[in-house]
Amino acid sequence: MKNNTIISIQKESVLMMTEPKYDELEENNPHLDKDKPYPLSGLLVVDFTHVLSGPTCTRMLADAGARVIHIERKTGDDTRHMGPYIEDGSSEYFRICNAGKESIALDLKDPKDHALVEKMIAKADVVVENFRPGLMKRLGFGTDEMVKKYPKLIFASISGFGQYGPWSKQAAYDTIVQAVSGLMDATGTPDGKPTRVGTSVSDVVAGIMGYSADCTRCS
């Protein structure tokens, strides 16, 4: 993946594009029918999410009409390398979670890329991230700093155990949340061991709740 390459994820294909001019960003999802009304048309979302919970949230925002720009690491999102793969060699998992978005590969520790991201945030209506609490602040994009700088910005953080408190720094994969919540104890046979629900329901529900919260604040 070339530096700062934009990858437009569509239902039909993955289209490689050159970097757009961010000072001329149009706040409309370029993948949707311009003649149809969408509830979140005109909304610009900067998406720092990865894996499933966050991408579920931002995929729903894109489906509802928002323009979503997905920030990926230089090597691409981890799920680009997760099977199953479709005919063109791309990850079906990644495409399902990121359809309707645009992606840009950046190094957030690089001053030039950092400035580019801040430029996008300055024009954005919503920022969504699902890193471990504290990482965004260390990168210079902490919630308090960004909201103070851009008062109209909606900043959504998805994490397993909240942004504050004794458990906030704990890693929270779907299986961990299922176990801690007691869901695994209600799954499986009556005399068997706690069993994980087949799908990553905790991640999906977290994404849906994030989407609902964003829509509530937008309204």
| Residue numbers annotated as active site | 203
**CA-only gyration radius of the chain, Å:** 18
Order of strands across the sheet that contains 154-157: 14-17, 6-9, 102-105, 67-72, 44-47, 126-129, 154-157
